[in-house]
């Protein structure tokens, strides 16, 4: 459903991505892994239109979305969960959910908000609290819930594990898995902690220094040695 | 855990350093030391607190508790420029070049103890000032040349390519004559060829008597360059040792790579 | 076709509107006599400028309509001091050197004082209007004032309060400007000299709109008399806000409130307000005629100083007629005018450079300033 | 002739004020709108000295400069802790407080200001014509320009621009950002105060209005129009912005609205240069703060 | 005691005026991060536009207020379109927009003087206000109206910012502009709306304040903007309710200080407070975030 061809991205003069290709099947979870600073987040941000200096072709459901801004990507069925459990800290949980569904008609919005609160009981308990007062895990849940308000067909998630305790990380990835099961949403997820994401992903893309260095079904990446190679050894290694 | 790589007294010592932001423990009871003439690397995932450690060392942040000793003298609590003058120079992840200054000025600005660096001296002028300026500029030119930036002296920093900007950042760092260099991701964003070039330069710096503390994501480089590696996770040190040791350390696999056996 | 017709009508109307200018030119021919006038036209004191200019322009128009001076028209050259001394000095020099005016009308104490040396240097006669600083008296032979200075005016007002009203205690509020401060301080000194006591002394900012805190301080002293020196806008608000704060007192000031806008702003609270100024006797025929003409031209009553600017232009015109169109001639002419019939009374510069007019006290009653019956 | 000389005198004074402010705004990235306050400090000290003690040019200038230094210390100590717009708003606060002091202290004559300042003397010579005073103002502007040029071309000047670009990086090089900012703040105040001295001598009577907030805004307008970071630009813009309203007086605009039209054109200049030509007439770069 | 209570009340009246101006100013700042000094110019022009319809044309109070609000809203959004939006797109520092805004203030002020003259214009004649006495405190109808209006408006804005999607969105945009883009908010349009609402409010306020004072004049936008800035800093930047509260605090402090200090120092006191706030509590009395460098 999503294909990315020859994606280059720049921050000012600095080229961050060098001809990255990705494909994602419907209702699948794909993981983009790789060491820090490899440009993983930039892949997501470029797809979503937050990085404006980008080249290459991105198609979603057969439609060219290469040059769309976030607003239009949302309309096309994408949603993005940024890094760092980013929520509107000065807004309450409920308000954040409302903002997540900013583009929806109010009746739908109210109904979706209720179901979001049901789906995330933690949030329901704290619906009138400021998001800034939530714990890191709760904020990450809220960020998911916000993105899901729009019932996107494709969810882009940027490093959900950052700053979270291991137990919470497990929970987060279970949630992602559940989202796919229940809502049929495809997920493209960027993660630095490989082990966890590999538990839920179907496909894996490995990025290093802005280049795609390997990709394949998740089974190929399950061994420790493979990962060690990916992360710790020189860049020419091929996995599949 | 193995012992330190050499028995000399360490150049830099961090003792039980802690720093929180609000409720977030960015650095927690962190201790390690950096031996003179070595390359020590600080690794860990995003948000592990590495850059915070740099900011604590350079005085850009004040520690909540703990001490930092440089050449056996406490430097925690000193303002950043005094720490820099004591001999600790740093580079920044986002370079922080003086964008609209020429390459030459970027490097020349960093030369320590210049005559004419104070308002009064610059007003008074004089032949000695001129001579000193000439000398400093010559030095800056020399550094630019070493960094293959000859011919770009008058270009504004913002006009250089990213790779050149990284080199310029290194030039500025070297001009400070600091003994301990803190490098924050020196190879990030560089082409493979340039990464090699940088590694070579870093090695040569040590040969020339500098000491280096490195934050680096490229583990391969870390393994190749470092004499000593400190691994951080969520503000705490979870392992340290020579590269091979760290590579096989279980808890590093566990937390840093997210591999839970 | 219709649109072109409309355009023609508009043009015709414009031509008719402009017609009086042509008519004037028929009466007064030749190179005009130029008189400089420096007013605060922009900035916080721009309301002064607008009123002052209105008075002066009326005189210009009337003189020219009546055939000018020696058959030649007069022309006012307006300059903006922005109420800033720096500009005032620049404009004075420009008027003298570039615009070649041999006479200048200027106002506001802090503007005119730095102009004195230039007036002296360039031997350019200036008439100051409404700038009440006693410094004018000693500013040299080129500086004239057709309005009494504060040391005279405020002394008489203080005397009036003590002797006529029999009030020995007063609160004082004055505009925080050179003008207001001098009026206030001279009144205060004279009032104390006569055995009076100042219960409270407050300032009001020019352009200020909320004087309640100052008035609340004044209210605490429960004064039988509140002497207020401010221009009519602020003065109206002071009276109005006094009433709103429940201050029951008698108000007194110089001539600033004798103005229609003041009456509107202050409202009935101004009843009993006593104003002393060298202002007209409304029953005098020439005064009635002037007010009529002014109202016809501007659709409102003249302010306090407008008639003095009107007179200043006429004084210069008369001086040109008498002494000739030169700096020396105009100075000489002014001194030799004898008893010049100003709107508000007879002016004479024979002995002093300040025209002394007697003060007249009026009281506000039901929307009008009425002579005080004694 | 005196009119032209006087206008020239103003140009020279404003060139001095603009150059000294440009060192803060354009070189160091400190957007101050307290320059008229510093200018006023010099003017008032001079007037008080000349009226009561001495009208020796050198002495009054030096003491005014000392006053400028003292006041700039009071302003700089707290204000330099703030950045960008907050520094700007703090200097606006100080500007207003200084104005309020001029307006309300007994010492400064309150709204009356101070009158009758005698002509300045130097080694027995009295400057009593407009031309002589104009030459003094030009001399000050030249000294200010030359010293400013020297400063900006020195290693210290390099540090000023480095501070503008990135303060954290400057301190990481072992240079005290605070010392750098502080020195230039004082330097700037000295020249503003000296301009105040000459202003007092040329106009002989001063009052608070001349040193109000709009005066500060006018000076920063000169800097912006000329180009932040360009000394020549400041001189050029001082000449043009003093000349423009004077020149407009010769245009056939109805007398009653001409003054407002001049104010409007000044506002339009501000908008034009901030919107379409941020480098100013001959400035070196677009934006003071990034 | 009676004097003090009157001072406090004076402060509340003055504070409600500051609050009214600060509300729109802060609303616009929240959405666009611009110190919109031209707000003072919009305030002035809209008051005169309202005056023209209400008094000169005699079309009544409602028409006057409607005109003032409309004129103000159009001017506000116009300034944003022509000036701030292109600057934002060009990544210009807020300082430049601030200076530009000063320029617009100068232009609007002098245009008003040309069109409506520089004399104070009487909006409500003296004696038209009913005077009330509440214990030791004297007040008038228009004063009570203005206080009630300010409180109601602050409450309405509170409701708007708490419960209306648009209001929450504007807060969200102020809190995190990039995240606002991520969830698909039309940022440009939201800023336009903020300018329309903030300016429209100042249009209404201008007539209300004019009716209370009695007169309006071309120069009234300058001082009020200085005070609104101080109010916003005292209250806390980027928070509309805090700015309004800051206005009240400023008004009360200014007036109560006069109880013991000579009134001529009122301005200096206000700016002294400004500087103390910037130094020691940059996040304001009621704000959450400060001007962290």
Over residues C62-89, the pLDDT tens digits come to 999 998 898 899 999 999 998 888 889 8
Q: Are residues A8 and A62 in the same domain?
A: yes
User: Please, which residues 235-274 of chain D have a Cβ atom closer than 8 Å to chain C?
Assistant: 246, 249, 255-256, 258-260, 262-263
C-alpha dist (Å) from residue B139 to A128, C310, E109:
62, 77, 56
Q: C370: part of which helix (H) or strand (E)? A: strand C368-371
So where are chain C's domains? 2-148+282-358, 151-277
CB D3 within 8 A of CB D26: no
**Residues of E with CB below 8 A from A103's CB?**
184
Q: What's the number of domains chain A is made of? A: 2
What local confidence, expressed as pLDDT, does residue C301 receive?
Answer: 83
How many CA atoms are closer than 13 Å to the CA of C231, on its beta-carbon side?
Answer: 26
What confidence tens digit (pLDDT) does each residue in A152-188 have? 999 999 988 876 766 778 888 888 898 888 888 999 9
CATH 3.40.50.300 segments of chain B: 1-87+178-261
**How far away is chain B from the Cα of A133, in angstroms, using its nearest Cα?**
10
What local confidence, expressed as pLDDT, does residue C337 receive?
Answer: 87
| Interface check A11 vs E, CB under 8 A | no
B1-87+178-261 topology per CATH: Rossmann fold (3.40.50)
So where are chain D's domains? 2-211
Q: With CB atoms and an 8 Å threshold, state whether C46 touches E118.
A: yes
Q: Which residue has the tokens 């080694």?
A: D123
**Distance in angstroms (rounded) separating the CA atoms of residues C207 and E69:** 24
Neighbour count for residue A232 (Cβ, 10 Å): 20
What local confidence, expressed as pLDDT, does residue B32 receive?
Answer: 95
Minimum mean pLDDT among A27-31, B217-221, E125-129: which range? B217-221
Residue in C37, C48, C170, C42 with CA at minimum distance from that of residue C112: C37
In CATH, C151-277 is 3.30.70.260: no
What local confidence, expressed as pLDDT, does residue E103 receive?
Answer: 93
CB-nearest to A90 from E175, E180, E184 is E175
**Tokens standing for D95?**
């500007």
User: How does residue B173 score in pLDDT terms, banded at 50, 70 and 90?
Assistant: very high
What local confidence, expressed as pLDDT, does residue D3 receive?
Answer: 87
What local confidence, expressed as pLDDT, does residue E293 receive?
Answer: 29
| Interface check A194 vs B, CB under 8 A | yes
CB D218 within 8 A of CB D202: no
User: Please, which residues 24-43 of chain B have a Cβ atom closer than 8 Å to chain A?
Assistant: 24
Pairing verdict, β C340-341 and C346-347: antiparallel
Q: C371: part of which helix (H) or strand (E)? A: strand C368-371
- Burial of B120: CB neighbours in 10 Å, binned 0-12, 13-18, 19+: exposed
Q: Which residue has the tokens 């983009």?
A: A32
Q: With CB atoms and an 8 Å threshold, state whether B96 touches D187.
A: no
Please check the confidence at residue C152 and state whether its pLDDT lies above 80: yes
Angle at C177 between CA C176 and CA C181, to 5 degrees: 75
Q: Which of E120, E131, E140, E250 to mutate to test the interface with C (most CBs of C within 10 A)?
A: E120
CB-nearest to E10 from C49, C216, C233 is C216
* C-beta contacts of B244-252 below 8 A and 24+ residues apart: B245/B2, B247/A232, B247/B223
Q: Which residue has the tokens 């355009």?
A: C7
What mean pLDDT value characterizes chain C? Answer: 87
Helix (H, G, I), strand (E, B) or coil at A81: strand
CB C49 within 8 A of CB C91: no
List the single residue in C with minimal CA-CA distance to D103.
Answer: C176
| Interface check A236 vs B, CB under 8 A | no
What confidence tens digit (pLDDT) does each residue in E21-37 have? 999 999 999 888 889 99
Average pLDDT over residues A4-16: 84
SS3 for chain B is: CCCCCCCCCCCEEEEEEEEEECCEEEEEEEEEEECCCCEEEEECCCCCCHHHHHHHHCCCCCCCEEEEEECCEECCCCCHHHHHHHCEEECCCCCCCCCCCEHHHHHHCCCCCCCCCCHHHHHHCCHHHHHHHHHHHHHHHHHHHHCCCCCCCCCEHHHCCHHHHHHHHHHHHHHCCCCEEEEECCCCCCCHHHHHHHHHHHHHHHHCCCEEEEECCCHHHHHHHCCEEEEEECCEEEEEECHHHHHHCHHHHHHHCCCCC
Please check the confidence at residue C371 and state whether its pLDDT lies above 90: no
| pLDDT in 10s for each residue of chain D, 290 residues | 788 999 999 999 999 999 999 999 999 999 999 999 999 999 999 999 999 999 999 999 999 999 999 999 999 988 888 877 789 889 999 999 999 999 999 999 988 889 889 999 999 898 988 899 999 999 999 999 999 999 999 999 999 999 999 999 999 999 999 999 999 999 999 999 999 999 999 988 898 988 999 899 999 999 988 988 889 999 999 999 999 888 888 888 887 788 888 889 989 998 998 888 777 777 666 555 44
D148: CB partners within 8 A, 6+ apart:
D19, D20, D22, D23, D231
Helix (H, G, I), strand (E, B) or coil at C190: helix
Q: With CB atoms and an 8 Å threshold, state whether D93 touches E106.
A: no
Residue in A89, A90, A88 with CA at minimum distance from that of residue A102: A88
Angle at C40 between CA C34 and CA C45, to 5 degrees: 155
Residue in B229, B233, E177, E180 with CA at minimum distance from that of residue A162: B233
Q: Are residues A73 and A156 in the same domain?
A: yes
Residue in D173, A1, C220 with CA at minimum distance from that of residue B84: D173
Pairing verdict, β B180-184 and B211-215: parallel
| Interface check C90 vs D, CB under 8 A | yes
Q: Are residues A131 and A63 in the same domain?
A: no
Q: What is the largest CA-CA distance in chain B?
A: 70
Please check the confidence at residue C13 and state whether its pLDDT lies above 50: no
What local confidence, expressed as pLDDT, does residue C247 receive?
Answer: 92
- Which subunits sit against D, judged by 3+ Cβ pairs under 8 A? B, C, E
**Distance in angstroms (rounded) separating the CA atoms of residues C285 and C291:** 10
Please check the confidence at residue C23 and state whether its pLDDT lies above 60: no
Average pLDDT over residues C279-283: 78
**Distance in angstroms (rounded) separating the CA atoms of residues E125 and C267:** 6
Question: For chain B, first and last CA: distance in Å?
Answer: 21
What local confidence, expressed as pLDDT, does residue A227 receive?
Answer: 67
Q: What is the CA radius of gyration of chain A?
A: 17
C-alpha dist (Å) from residue A128 to A91, A95, A96, A104, B249:
9, 8, 10, 21, 45
A227: CB partners within 8 A, 6+ apart:
A194, A195, A221, B257, B259
Q: What are phi and psi of C167, to 5 degrees?
A: -105, 130
**How far away is chain C from the Cα of D34, in angstroms, using its nearest Cα?**
18
What local confidence, expressed as pLDDT, does residue B250 receive?
Answer: 67
What confidence tens digit (pLDDT) does each residue in B54-99 have? 999 999 999 999 999 999 999 999 999 999 999 999 999 888 999 8
Please check the confidence at residue A191 and state whether its pLDDT lies above 90: no
Q: With CB atoms and an 8 Å threshold, state whether C182 touches D112.
A: yes
Q: With CB atoms and an 8 Å threshold, state whether B46 touches A192.
A: yes
Return the number of CB contacts < 8 Å for A and E.
58
User: How does residue A229 score in pLDDT terms, banded at 50, 70 and 90?
Assistant: low
| Interface check C205 vs D, CB under 8 A | no
What local confidence, expressed as pLDDT, does residue A126 receive?
Answer: 87
- Which subunits sit against A, judged by 3+ Cβ pairs under 8 A? B, E
Q: With CB atoms and an 8 Å threshold, state whether C265 touches E128.
A: no
Helix (H, G, I), strand (E, B) or coil at A207: strand
Q: With CB atoms and an 8 Å threshold, state whether B119 touches D177.
A: no
Residue ending a domain, choose from A127, A151, A175 = A151
Q: C64: part of which helix (H) or strand (E)? A: helix C46-65
List the single residue in C with minimal CA-CA distance to D204.
Answer: C114
C-alpha dist (Å) from residue B220 to B205, B217, B252, C158:
19, 9, 15, 95
**Residues of D with CB below 8 A from C119's CB?**
none
What local confidence, expressed as pLDDT, does residue C31 receive?
Answer: 87
What local confidence, expressed as pLDDT, does residue E288 receive?
Answer: 59
Residue ending a domain, choose from A119, A151, A183 = A151
Neighbour count for residue E88 (Cβ, 10 Å): 18
**Distance in angstroms (rounded) separating the CA atoms of residues E179 and A158:** 13
Please check the confidence at residue A107 and state whether its pLDDT lies above 60: yes
Residue in B32, B29, B34 with CA at minimum distance from that of residue B16: B29
**Distance in angstroms (rounded) separating the CA atoms of residues E72 and C141:** 53
Average pLDDT over residues E137-158: 91
Helices of type H across chain E: 2-32, 39-51, 61-79, 85-89, 94-116, 141-163, 165-175, 177-182, 187-213, 220-235, 240-260, 266-280
What confidence tens digit (pLDDT) does each residue in E81-113 have? 999 999 887 777 777 888 899 999 999 999 999
Neighbour count for residue C348 (Cβ, 10 Å): 16
Neighbour count for residue D274 (Cβ, 10 Å): 26
Q: Are residues A7 and A71 in the same domain?
A: yes
Q: What are phi and psi of A28, to 5 degrees?
A: -115, 165
Q: With CB atoms and an 8 Å threshold, state whether D205 touches C78.
A: no
- Of all residues in chain C, the percent with pLDDT exceeding 70 is 92
**Distance in angstroms (rounded) separating the CA atoms of residues A149 and B78:** 50
Q: Which residue has the tokens 């500086």?
A: C143
| Interface check A218 vs B, CB under 8 A | no
Q: Is the dihedral of CA B4, B5, B8, B10 positive or negative?
A: negative
In CATH, which of 3.10.310.30, 3.40.50.2300, 2.60.120.10, 3.90.1150.10 is domain C2-148+282-358? 3.40.50.2300
Q: Are residues A22 and A52 in the same domain?
A: yes
Q: Are residues A69 and A163 in the same domain?
A: yes
Neighbour count for residue E158 (Cβ, 10 Å): 14
How many CA atoms are closer than 13 Å to the CA of E203, on its beta-carbon side?
Answer: 26
Q: What are phi and psi of B21, to 5 degrees?
A: -115, 110
Q: With CB atoms and an 8 Å threshold, state whether B217 touches A36.
A: yes
Residue in E216, E214, E14, E218 with CA at minimum distance from that of residue C236: E214
């Amino acid at each position: 459903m999503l294909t990315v061809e020859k994606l280059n991205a720049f921050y000012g003069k600095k080229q961050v991505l060098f001809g990255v290709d990705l494909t994602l099947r419907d209702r699948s979870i794909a993981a983009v892994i790789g060491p820090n600073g490899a440009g993983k987040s930039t892949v997501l941000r470029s797809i979503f239109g937050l990085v404006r200096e980008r080249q290459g072709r991105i198609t979603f459901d057969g439609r060219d979305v290469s040059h769309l801004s976030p607003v239009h990507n949302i309309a096309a069925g994408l949603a993005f969960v940024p890094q760092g459990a980013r929520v509107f800290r000065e807004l309450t949980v409920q308000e954040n959910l409302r903002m997540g569904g900013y583009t929806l008609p109010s009746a739908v919005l109210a109904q979706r908000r209720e179901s979001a609160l049901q789906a995330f009981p933690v949030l329901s308990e704290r619906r009138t609290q400021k998001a800034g007062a939530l714990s890191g895990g709760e904020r990450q849940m809220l960020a998911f819930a916000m993105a899901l308000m729009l019932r996107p067909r494709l969810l882009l998630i940027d490093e959900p594990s950052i700053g979270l305790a291991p137990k919470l990380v497990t929970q987060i990835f279970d949630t992602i898995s559940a989202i796919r099961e229940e809502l049929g949403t495809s997920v493209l997820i960027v993660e630095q902690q490989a082990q966890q994401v590999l538990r839920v992903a179907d496909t894996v893309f490995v990025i290093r220094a802005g280049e795609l260095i390997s990709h394949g079904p998740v089974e190929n990446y399950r061994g420790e040695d493979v990962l060690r190679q990916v992360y710790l050894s020189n860049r020419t290694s091929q996995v599949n | 855990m193995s012992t330190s790589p050499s028995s000399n007294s360490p150049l830099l010592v961090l003792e039980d350093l802690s720093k929180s932001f609000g409720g977030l423990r960015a650095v927690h009871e962190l201790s390690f030391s950096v031996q003179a003439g070595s390359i020590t690397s600080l690794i860990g995932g995003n948000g592990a607190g590495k850059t915070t450690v740099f900011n604590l060392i350079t005085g850009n942040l004040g520690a909540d508790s703990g001490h930092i000793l440089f050449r056996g003298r406490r430097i925690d609590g000193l303002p950043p420029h005094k720490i820099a003058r004591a001999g600790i120079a740093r580079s920044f992840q986002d370079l922080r070049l003086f964008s609209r200054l020429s390459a030459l000025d970027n490097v020349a600005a960093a030369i320590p103890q210049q005559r004419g660096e104070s308002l009064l001296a610059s007003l008074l002028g004089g032949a000695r000032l001129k001579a000193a300026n000439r000398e400093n500029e010559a030095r800056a030119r020399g550094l630019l040349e070493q960094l293959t930036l000859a011919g770009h002296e008058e270009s504004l920093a913002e006009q250089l390519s990213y790779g050149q900007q990284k080199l310029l950042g290194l030039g500025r760092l070297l001009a400070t004559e600091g003994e301990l260099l803190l490098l924050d991701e020196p190879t990030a964003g560089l082409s493979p060829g340039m990464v090699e070039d940088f590694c070579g330069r870093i090695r040569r710096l040590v040969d020339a008597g500098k000491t280096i503390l490195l934050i680096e994501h490229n583990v391969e480089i870390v393994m190749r360059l470092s004499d000593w590696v400190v691994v951080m996770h969520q503000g705490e040190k979870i392992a340290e040792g020579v590269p091979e040791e760290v590579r096989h350390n279980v808890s590093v696999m566990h937390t840093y790579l997210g591999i839970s056996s | 076709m219709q649109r072109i017709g409309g355009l023609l009508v508009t043009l015709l109307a414009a031509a008719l509107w402009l017609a009086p200018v042509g008519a004037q030119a028929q009466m007064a021919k030749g190179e005009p006599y130029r008189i400089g006038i420096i007013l605060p036209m922009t900035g916080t004191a721009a309301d002064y400028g607008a009123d002052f200019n209105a008075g002066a322009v009326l005189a210009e128009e009337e003189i020219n309509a009546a055939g000018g001076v020696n058959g030649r028209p007069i022309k006012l050259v307006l300059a903006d001091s922005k109420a800033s001394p720096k500009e005032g000095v620049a404009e004075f020099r420009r008027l003298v050197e570039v615009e070649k005016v041999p006479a200048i009308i200027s106002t506001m104490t802090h503007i005119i004082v730095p102009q004195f040396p230039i007036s002296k240097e360039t031997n350019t006669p200036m008439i100051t209007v409404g700038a009440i600083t006693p410094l004018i008296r000693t500013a040299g032979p080129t500086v004239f004032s057709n309005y009494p200075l504060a040391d005279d005016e405020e002394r008489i007002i203080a005397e009036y309060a003590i002797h006529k009203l029999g009030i020995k205690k007063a609160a004082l509020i004055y505009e925080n400007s050179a003008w207001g401060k001098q009026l206030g301080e001279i009144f205060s000194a004279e009032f104390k000299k006569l055995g009076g006591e100042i219960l409270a002394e407050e300032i009001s900012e020019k352009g200020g709109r909320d004087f309640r805190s100052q008035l609340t301080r004044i209210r605490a002293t429960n004064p039988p008399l509140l002497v207020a020196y401010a221009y009519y806008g602020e003065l109206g608000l002071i009276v109005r806000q006094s009433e709103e704060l429940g201050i029951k007192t008698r108000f007194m000031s110089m001539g600033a409130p004798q103005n229609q806008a003041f009456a509107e702003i202050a409202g009935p609270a101004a009843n009993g307000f006593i104003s002393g100024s060298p202002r007209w006797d409304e029953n005098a025929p020439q005064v009635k005629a002037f007010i009529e003409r002014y109202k016809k031209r501007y659709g409102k009553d003249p302010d306090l100083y407008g008639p003095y600017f009107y007179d200043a232009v006429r004084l210069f015109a008369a001086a040109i007629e008498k002494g000739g169109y030169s700096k020396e001639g105009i100075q000489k002419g002014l001194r030799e005018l004898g008893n010049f019939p100003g709107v508000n009374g007879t002016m004479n510069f024979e002995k002093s450079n300040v025209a002394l007019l007697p003060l007249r006290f009026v009281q506000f009653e039901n929307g009008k300033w009425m002579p005080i019956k004694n | 002739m005196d009119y032209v000389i006087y206008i020239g005198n103003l140009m020279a004074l404003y060139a001095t004020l603009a150059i000294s402010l440009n060192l803060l705004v354009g070189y160091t990235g400190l957007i101050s709108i307290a320059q008229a306050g510093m200018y006023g400090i010099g003017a008032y000290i001079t007037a008080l000295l000349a009226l009561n003690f001495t009208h020796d040019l050198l002495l009054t200038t030096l003491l005014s400069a000392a006053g400028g230094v003292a006041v700039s210390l009071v302003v700089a100590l707290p204000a330099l802790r703030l950045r960008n717009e907050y520094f700007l708003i703090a200097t606006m606060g100080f500007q207003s407080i200084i104005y309020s002091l001029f307006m309300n202290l007994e010492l400064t004559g309150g709204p009356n200001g101070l009158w009758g300042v005698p002509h300045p003397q130097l080694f027995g010579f009295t400057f009593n014509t407009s031309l002589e005073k104009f030459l003094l103002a030009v001399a000050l502007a030249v000294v200010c320009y030359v010293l400013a040029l020297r400063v900006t071309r020195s290693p210290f000047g390099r540090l000023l621009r480095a501070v503008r670009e990135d303060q954290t990086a400057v301190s990481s090089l072992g240079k005290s950002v605070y010392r750098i900012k502080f020195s230039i703040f004082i330097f700037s105040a000295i020249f503003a105060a000296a301009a105040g001295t000459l202003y007092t001598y040329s106009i002989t009577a001063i009052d608070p209005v001349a040193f109000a907030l709009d005066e500060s805004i006018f000076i920063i307008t000169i800097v912006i129009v000329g180009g932040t970071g360009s000394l020549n630009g400041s001189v050029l813009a001082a000449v043009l912005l003093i000349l423009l309203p004077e020149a407009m007086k010769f245009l056939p605009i109805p007398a009653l609205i001409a003054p407002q039209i001049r104010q409007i054109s000044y506002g339009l200049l501000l908008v034009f240069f901030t919107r379409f030509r941020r480098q100013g007439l001959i400035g070196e770069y677009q934006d003071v703060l990034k | 005691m009676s004097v003090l209570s009157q001072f406090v009340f004076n402060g509340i009246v003055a504070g409600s005026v500051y609050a009214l101006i600060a509300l729109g100013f802060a609303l616009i700042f929240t959405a666009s991060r611009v110190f919109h000094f031209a707000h003072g110019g919009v305030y002035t022009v809209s008051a005169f536009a309202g005056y023209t319809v209400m008094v000169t044309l005699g079309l009544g109070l409602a028409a006057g207020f409607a005109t003032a609000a409309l004129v103000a809203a159009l001017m506000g959004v116009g300034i944003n379109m022509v000036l701030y939006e292109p600057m934002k797109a060009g990544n210009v520092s807020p300082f430049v927009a601030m200076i530009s805004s000063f320029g617009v203030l100068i232009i609007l002020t002098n245009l008003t003087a040309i069109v409506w003259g520089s004399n104070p214009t009487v909006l409500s004649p003296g004696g038209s206000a009913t005077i009330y006495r509440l214990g030791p405190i004297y007040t008038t109808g228009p004063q009570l109206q203005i206080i009630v209006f300010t409180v109601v408006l602050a409450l309405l804005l509170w409701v708007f910012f708490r419960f209306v999607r648009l209001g929450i969105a504007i807060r969200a945009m102020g809190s995190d502009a990039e995240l606002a883009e991520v969830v698909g908010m039309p940022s440009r349009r939201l800023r336009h709306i903020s300018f329309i609402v903030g300016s429209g409010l100042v249009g209404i306020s201008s007539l209300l304040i004019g009716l209370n004072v009695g007169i309006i004049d071309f120069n009234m936008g300058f001082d009020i903007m200085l005070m609104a800035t101080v109010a916003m800093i005292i209250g806390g930047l980027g928070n509309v309710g805090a700015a309004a509260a800051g206005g009240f605090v400023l008004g009360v402090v200014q007036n109560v200080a006069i109880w013991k200090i000579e009134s001529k120092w009122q301005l200096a006191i206000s700016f002294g407070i400004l500087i103390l706030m910037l130094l020691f509590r940059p996040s304001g009395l009621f704000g959450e975030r400060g001007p962290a460098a």
